[in-house]
Amino acid sequence: MINQGLEYKFFLLLLILVTLGFCWILLPFHGAVFWAVSLAILFRPLQCRLEHLSKGRWRNLISLITLSACLVVAVLPVTVMVSLLVEEGAELFKQIESGSVDFQSFIERIRMLLPHPLNIQLSRFGLDNLGGLRDRIASGAMQASQFLATKAFNIGQNTFQFILSSFVMLYLLFFFLRDGPVLVARVTQAIPLDEAQKHRLLRRFTRVVRATIKGNILVAIAQGAIGGLIFALMGIPSALVWGVVMAFLSLLPTVGAALIWAPIALYWMLSGEVWRGVVLTLFGVCVIGLVDNLMRPFLVGKDTKMPDYLVLVTTLGGLALFGLNGFVIGPLIAALFISIWGLFSEPEDRDASDG
Question: Tell me: the pLDDT tens digits for 66-103?
Answer: 899 888 887 787 777 767 666 666 666 666 666 565 55
pLDDT the model gives residue 184: 84
| pLDDT tens, position by position, 188-243 | 887 777 777 778 778 877 877 777 777 777 888 888 888 888 888 888 877 887 88
Residue 2 lies in a domain: no
Task: Give the model confidence (pLDDT) of 141-151 as tens digits.
Answer: 555 555 555 55
> How many of the other CB atoms lie within 10 Å of CB of 319?
17
The pLDDT tens digits of the residues spanning 229-284 come to: 888 888 887 788 788 888 877 777 666 788 888 888 887 877 777 888 888 888 88
Residue 304 lies in a domain: yes
User: Based on the domain organization, do 231 and 135 belong to the same domain?
Assistant: no
DSSP 127: -
Contact 137, 107 (CB under 8 A): yes
d(CA 195, CA 336): 20
Residue 60 CB-half CA count within 13 A: 0
Q: Which residue, 52, 63, 260, 10, is CA-closest to 170?
A: 63
Question: Is 337 a member of any domain?
Answer: yes
Residues 160-173: b if buried by 16+ CB within 10 A, e if exposed: eeeeebeebbbebb
Domain final residue, candidates 180, 214, 234: 180
Q: Which domain holds residue 162?
A: 29-180
Query: From the CB of residue 74, how many other CB atoms can be counted at a distance below 10 Å?
Result: 16
276: left (phi over 0), alpha (psi -120 to 50) or beta: alpha
Domain identity same for 164 and 207: no
207 is a domain residue: yes
Identify whether residues 222 and 88 lie together within a single domain: no
